[in-house]
Amino acid sequence: MGTAAQAQTVDSYTFPDALAVAQTAAESGGERYLFGQVPRPDQIGQGYVVLERTGDRVYGALYYPSSSFDCFEGQVQGTELAMTVINSYDQSDTYPYSLAMVEDSAVASSDASGELVPFGLDGFHAIDNLSENDHRMLEMCRGVVSSVQ
């Protein structure tokens, strides 16, 4: 009952959205990373950090799949990623948070590619492939961080 028409409509909206997200990511100049408490993306009940890093500055999102996410901004300070987390429900509510960084200059990613990631987060696995949703959260957080500053 209209399934083919619905699929075409979904595809026509999905493809331009994905293209716009990819173009924005390429224009941002920063490197984007995904880290998870487990080595596989989108595992219910597991925490993830998606971030964009330019030099020692970062912004991104802390999230659990199928849940809300909180944006953050911060910077690398020694062996820590020092962040200010912005409450997703009340953007005037912020709090400090930090994650320890892995001291090695490069760590192996968790998937089969074996590529090296320039840094790691202690207790998290590097995940190579960011989803369209990860990119979308980064774009939303870029706007949130800009509006809070």
pLDDT in tens, 81-116: 999 999 988 989 999 999 999 865 444 444 444 444
CA angle 121–126–91, rounded 5-degree value: 60
Per-residue pLDDT at 118: 73
Count other C-beta atoms under 10 Å from residue 100's C-beta: 14
Which residues lie closer than 8 Å to 58 by C-beta, 6 or more apart?
51, 52, 72, 73, 74, 75, 76, 81, 83
Spatial separation of the C-alpha atoms in residues 83 and 56, rounded to whole Å: 12
